[in-house]
Amino acid sequence: MSRLKITGGKTLSGTINISGAKNSAVALLPAAILAKSKCKIYKVPKIRDIEYLLKILEVLGCTYKIEEDQIEIDTTNLKNAPVPEELSQQMRASYYFMGTLLARFKRAEICFPGGCNFGSRPIDLHIKGFEALGAKVEIIKSRYIITAKKLVGARIYLDFASVGATINIMLAATYAKGQTIIENAAREPEIINVASFLINMGCKITGAGTSTIIIEGSEELDNGVVEVFPDRIEAATYVIMGALCGKNLHIKGIIKDHINATLIKLKDVGCEFKATNDEVVISKCKKIMPTDVHTQVFPGFPTDVQQVFTVLLTQAKGKSHISENIYELRFESAMLLNKMGADTYANKNVLTINGPTKLRGANLTVPDLRGGAALVLGALIAKGDTILDNIPLILRGYEDIVEKLSNVGAKIEIIE
């Protein structure tokens, strides 16, 4: 099993180009089957989740051509096959095939989605949405069987502004008869990215990026073209790395508005940087002040950045708190940082971080994707070597992380 070896204490300097967003791309590939013959997606990151989604597309009879970071998908021979368990369990986003298969065939058969394990991750809001459109949902052993005689547009209120439920309901509604209105929809950029793909295929959608999305059902969607947005979580991760070990580190190809919450928090703790619409230039922060962070839905501070931000706060002088309001159990990586010398403790959904603490290298097992990125950052500022096991979890979300960090001066390598 391969592992990551990182030697801490190096300065990061140069340019890191941000890849296409994992969380957009993993919805855009399932959305491709809404096109009746073909579509094209630009700037697709080369990450594990995409490999699995392409395998699912093959099972469904699609063919595709990959040229650098572009994927052209031919859906002419699309068939409605059950999504195999070994594929759907590899990632959470496999659940987007529920919405798209239901839209195309009025039937979807798929196992419980996989994904990182940090507490309960129900999909009841997705199911309620499908039911509101007229579908019947049966759960047999670990399989969801979702069927509908016909799908009819409906007014759907989400009890929580879930990213996954908003996208899945939008996907299912594309071929429903009439108008669907999603109230209290999530406003994350991924939703705008998916909506623009569907609009490009011919679907009428308004309000994506606001709390009310209106979808007019279509009979024929085709020829969609879309570019995956820059990965806002990857961008925030590298900006925070720059705040701890950068020297004029350029993070390029971002959409600044997508990472505003992180940038504002960095300013709050005393970090200085230059930001334009598509780039941040940052150097090591001289004096880090403690702060309190509350994770929230977009445009609030993202739960996906909280674990990496925790590493920054281990270097702040004083007591900081992170209130995790989306996934209550997302502190496993902080407990592992303690093994490197950090001083953190969790009480229910609040993590307290006492700083500053000197970190030292350790042998650790990556607990989840973003927690893995946090441990990489911990290792970059630690004294000595860190060895990380279970690295496929990190590679699921960070395209070329080893190359990107090596290119700017980090000592990081994959070892067997």
Catalytic residue ranges: 116
The Cα 398–Cα 308 span in angstroms is 13
Instruction: Give the binding range for ligand UD1 (CB under 6 A) out of 2-10, 134-142, 163-171, 203-211.
Output: 163-171
Residue 93 interacts with ligand UD1 (CB under 6 A): yes or no? yes
Instruction: Give the binding range for ligand UD1 (CB under 6 A) out of 192-200, 275-283, 299-307, 339-347.
Output: 299-307
Query: Cβ 334 to ligand UD1, closest distance in Å?
Result: 16
Per-residue mark of binding to ligand UD1, 94-123 (x: CB under 6 A): --------------------------xxxx
Element (H, E) at 398: none
Query: Cβ 301 to ligand UD1, closest distance in Å?
Result: 11
Identify the CA nearest to 284 among candidates 250, 241, 220, 229.
241
The Cα 84–Cα 104 span in angstroms is 18
Site residues for ligand UD1, 172-191, by CB under 6 A, read 186, 190
Among 164, 224, 242, 367, binds ligand UD1 (CB under 6 A): 164
Site residues for ligand UD1, 247-276, by CB under 6 A, read none
Give the Cβ contact number of residue 139 at 10 Å: 11
Query: Cβ 163 to ligand UD1, closest distance in Å?
Result: 4
- Is-cis flag, bond preceding 367, omega within 30? no
DSSP 391: T
Q: Are 12 and 152 in contact (CB under 8 A)?
A: no
Among 75, 90, 162, 196, binds ligand UD1 (CB under 6 A): 162
Q: Toward ligand UD1, which CB reaches closer, 254 or 362?
A: 254
Q: Toward ligand UD1, which CB reaches closer, 38 or 126?
A: 126
Site residues for ligand UD1, 25-84, by CB under 6 A, read 26
The Cα 293–Cα 341 span in angstroms is 22
Q: What tokens appear for 331 in the block?
A: 């502190």
Q: Toward ligand UD1, which CB reaches closer, 23 or 333?
A: 23
Site residues for ligand UD1, 303-342, by CB under 6 A, read 303-304, 326-327
* Cα distances (Å, whole numbers) of residue 357 to 315, 342, 353, 414: 6, 6, 10, 27
Residue 243 interacts with ligand UD1 (CB under 6 A): yes or no? no
How many residues in the shown chain lie near ligand UD1 by CB under 6 A? 23
Residue 348 interacts with ligand UD1 (CB under 6 A): yes or no? no
The Cα 161–Cα 328 span in angstroms is 16
Among 3, 40, 104, 126, binds ligand UD1 (CB under 6 A): 126
The Cα 335–Cα 344 span in angstroms is 7
Q: What tokens appear for 26 in the block?
A: 């993993």
Q: Toward ligand UD1, which CB reaches closer, 326 or 412?
A: 326
Q: Toward ligand UD1, which CB reaches closer, 155 or 317?
A: 155
Residue 125 interacts with ligand UD1 (CB under 6 A): yes or no? yes
CA 397 from centre of chain: 7
* Cα distances (Å, whole numbers) of residue 311 to 258, 265, 354, 387: 21, 14, 11, 17
Query: Cβ 98 to ligand UD1, closest distance in Å?
Result: 11
Query: Cβ 295 to ligand UD1, closest distance in Å?
Result: 8
Q: Are 337 and 313 in contact (CB under 8 A)?
A: no
Q: Phi, psi at residue 112, to the nearest 5°?
A: -50, 135
Q: Toward ligand UD1, which CB reaches closer, 28 or 382?
A: 28
Residue 362 interacts with ligand UD1 (CB under 6 A): yes or no? no
Pair type for strands 143-147 and 136-140: antiparallel
Q: Toward ligand UD1, which CB reaches closer, 12 or 188?
A: 188
Q: Toward ligand UD1, which CB reaches closer, 285 or 304?
A: 304
Q: What is the DSSP string of 214-246?
A: EEE--S----EEEEPPB-HHHHHHHHHHHHHHE
Q: Which residues bind ligand UD1 (CB under 6 A)?
A: 23, 26, 92-93, 120-126, 160, 162-165, 186, 190, 302-304, 326-327
